[in-house]
Amino acid sequence: MTAAQVGDMLKTSFEEVDNAVGTDIDAQTRAYADLLAKSLPDIRTQPMSLVNIVEHIIASNLNANESDHETIFLHSFQNCVMDFATKRNGGTVREFLNYWDQKGDKITVPATENSNAINILTIHKSKGLEAECIVIPKASWNIEADARNDNLYWIDAKTWLDEGVRDFLTKEKLGMIDESIVAPIFSVSKKVMRDLAKTSYYSQFTSRRDQDMYIDNINKTYVAFTRPCKELLIFAVKSKVKGRIYDKLASIIPAMVGDGYFRQLSIDEIPLVNPEMPQPQDGTGWYQMGEPYAEHDTVETTINWKPVPLPPYKVSKSVIKVALPENEVSARTEGKRLHAFMSRINYVSDCEQVLSYCLRRGIITDVDTDVWNLNRLRQLCERLGTEAPYCEWFACDNEILNERSMLVWEIDPLTNEKNLVVRRPDRIIRRPDGRVVVVDYKFGKIVEDEHVTQVSNYMNALVDAGESQVEGYLWYVELDEIKQVTL
């Protein structure tokens, strides 16, 4: 979609809204509903997920005849949406818009390593990398360390409490110093450092720091100058501040001209430079070591490349499925998804609403090949209201606690010690007659001893809490079996 098309779409939307402003509330509601209907997928047939909403908006506004050159941008944007949805467990439109406002201007279309482009990196980012040609457009960093050029300087307590330094700072800046409350490290402003540099105390505590900075600057220069494989172009900028790399290059390179290492170039030998520009004086100018790298010197391998045009963006005709953490299809995660579904049902009357929510969120699907699809779960919900003991467990006169944490005593099989741990029973039901029923769902195979022990621990914890009528059940949903647990 081009910028002009986006503008036309926004203009049309604003005009439709403006036309509705002067009408009654019902007319305005219908106008906004029509706008939403154009932008959102049909909730009856598609999940109302972020990815599907974005796909529907693209499909509604895509002009197939003009979209070929925009395909890569649309794909990149959809990849961004899918990555966001995966990391945020689906995400919402509001969350994505907030994310886009904060980081959208930093997201770029990824380029291949072989693309004919210029990569712009800091020296630190380029460490460990290499390229055929490296251009350093502004070599102006410091080589020599000079604290007088820093805006802020950190001093340790031992240096601060040095008698000479303390006397200087006490007299000039701070007043009396209580040594017992001096912090291990604290800052000194640029102005204080400049004043201190005028005294004899400056060098005694800055020499080590300057030496460390000097080594860091040398290392940085080494990294910058050793990235190229073929050619290095350095543009050193003269500065009024002494000790920068320009001063080092200006003192070293001209002196090496006579030894044959460098030769100074005239203006007419320098490409892309105005010939009328005056020749630099005072030892500055253009210097060259070796010969420029020429492409024709390389041995080229002939490859019969066949250009393949990128097809236009194709809107998906089916529902886009995003592999969310709760939407993975495997034996183990299938049980987690069904637990997520069952934990949202308190009463039989909640079934349709929970089915609709889980379908929109991708927790369940309407795909017939899935083990627990929409139709099968709807059949299960019908049984909850008609068959015993389900109709008792999901009756509307119960008090329900789903997936609530509780402290239970468990015996460690290795040490045989009794430990207090946190567990979450699937469903605890308080019946009107005072009975408390513990129901634990199982969606896999029967592991009788382990499962019975688990429910027994839940029941014992409730008895310890003062409940006198406690029942426990294991419900193997996939096997359609119910096993009662007794203490």
Q: What tokens appear for 370 in the block?
A: 């899935």
- When mean pLDDT is compared across 315-319, 330-334, 469-473, the lowest value belongs to 315-319
Residues 6+ apart with CB under 8 A from 25: none
CA 46, chain centre distance (Å):
27
For the beta sheet containing 399-402, the strands, ordered from the edge strand earlier in sequence to the opposite edge, are: 399-402, 427-430, 436-442, 470-476, 481-485
Query: How would residue 165 be classed by pLDDT, with cut points 50, 70 and 90?
Result: low
Q: Of residues 141 and 259, which shows the higher confidence score?
A: 141
Q: What tokens appear for 328 in the block?
A: 């993975």
Q: How many CA atoms lie within 13 A of 449 on its CB side?
A: 0
| Cβ pair 259, 232 in contact under 8 A | no
Cβ density class 319-342: b for 16+ within 10 Å, e for less: bbbbebeebeeeeeebbbbbbbbb
What pLDDT, on the 0 to 100 scale, is given for residue 310? 61
Helix axis angle, 25-39 relative to 50-61, nearest 10°? 90
CA dist 301 → 17, 86, 133, 298, 304 (Å): 61, 43, 20, 9, 10
pLDDT, tens digit, for every residue of 226-279? 998 888 888 876 777 666 777 777 777 776 766 667 777 766 666 555 555 555
Could you state, in order of their start, the residue ranges of all structural domains in the chain? 3-106, 325-485
Query: How would residue 90 be classed by pLDDT, with cut points 50, 70 and 90?
Result: confident
What pLDDT, on the 0 to 100 scale, is given for residue 208? 65
Task: Give this prediction's pTM.
Answer: 0.39
Cis bond upstream, residue 254 (ω within 30): no
What pLDDT, on the 0 to 100 scale, is given for residue 394? 93
Q: What tokens appear for 77 in the block?
A: 């944007």
Residue closest to 385 by CA, chosen among 350, 361, 358? 350
For β-strands 263-265 and 286-288, DSSP reports them as antiparallel
| Cβ pair 439, 429 in contact under 8 A | yes
What pLDDT, on the 0 to 100 scale, is given for residue 1? 45
Residue closest to 338 by CA, chosen among 472, 475, 450, 477? 477
- When mean pLDDT is compared across 21-35, 122-136, 337-351, 456-470, the lowest value belongs to 21-35
pLDDT, tens digit, for every residue of 298-325? 555 566 666 666 666 666 555 555 544 4
The CATH T-level fold of domain 325-485 is Lambda Exonuclease; Chain A (3.90.320)
